[in-house]
Amino acid sequence: MELKEFFAFVTGGGSGLGEATVRALAATGAKVAVFDKNAEAARRVAEAVGGLAVVGDVASEDDVAGAFDAVAARFGGLRVVVNCAGIGTSGRLVSKSGPHPLELFERTIRVNLVGTFNVMRFAAARMTTEDELESGERGVIINTASVAAFEGQLGQCAYSASKGGIHSMTLPAARELARFGIRVMTIAPGLIRTPLFDTLPPDVAERIEAQSVFPRRLGRPEEFADLVVAIVRNPLLNGETIRLDGALRLPVS
C-alpha cells in the first residue's frame, strides 16, 4: 500500500516514536492526523507536516470517536492507524511501602492496553467502510508493544502485562479483520532514545546503552518510523509482532 493521498492517524504523535512516525508518513505523501493529550505538542508536529492536530485521551470513547469523525471530515480515506501513545511505569509487587498500588496497575493497563484497543476498534469500524484498493486492502493498524512483553524486568509487572496484552491481540485481530482486507501488526521496540531517556542520570543511561548487542547504541525513533512505513508498504506483513531491538534481551534488572 502506498500512502500518497491517503490519511493516517497516529496516537502519541506529539513526541518520541509518535512524532517520528508522523514525520515519516507525511514524507511519503500521506495526510496525517496527530492525536495527543498534549495540545501544544500535537499542534507543533501537525503544523510542521501540514497535518491536523487532535487533542484527546486514547482510553476515552468520546475522545477517540470524535477524533475520527473530525479527521474524516477534514481528510477522508482512512488507511493507516499507528498506536504510539503509552506510559512507562514501574513498581514491585511488594516494596518497603507495601503491596504494589492497584491504581498504578489499573492506570497502566488502561492507557497502554485499553487505549490501544479503543483506538483499534474505532479505526477498524471506520476502515471497513472504505473502498477496497487494487491490492484488496482497506487499511493497516500498527500497534506498539515492547520487548518487556517477553522479558519484563523487576518492577515491570504492570508495564509488561499491558504490552503483553497488545502482542496477544495482534493475531486474533488480524484474523478477524482479514475478511475486510485490514491488516494488524505490532512493533515491540527495545531501547530507543526518546526524550524520556535523556532525563536519566548519565551513569544510568550509560548502563542501559551498554546492554545493546548490535548496533552498540540505542535505537532511534526514526528507525521505528522506517519500520512503520515498511509494514504499510508490504501486504504480506500481517498478524505478527516484530521486535525492533538489535538482538537485545532484557536482563532481570
CA distance 206 to 133: 47
To which residue does cell 473530525 refer? 70
| Cβ contacts of 102 within 8 Å, gap of 6 or more | none
Indicate if 159 belongs to the active site. yes
Q: What distance in Å separates the CA atoms of residue 206 and residue 105, rounded to the nearest whole number?
A: 29
Which of 159, 166, 186, 189 is flagged as catalytic?
159
Give the integer Cα–Cα distance in Å for 209 and 213.
9
Cα separation, 217 vs 211, whole angstroms: 9
Other beta carbons less than 10 A from residue 220's beta carbon: 14
Bridge-based pairing state of the strands 7-11 and 31-36: parallel
Question: How many Å apart are CA 203 and CA 215, to the nearest integer?
Answer: 20
List Cα–Cα distances, 113 to 42, 81, 109, 186, 199, in angstroms.
22, 16, 5, 13, 25
User: Mind giving me the DSSP string for 86-133?
Assistant: -------SEETTEEPPHHHHHHHIIIIIIHHHHHHHHHHHHHTTSPPP
Catalytic site residues?
A: 159
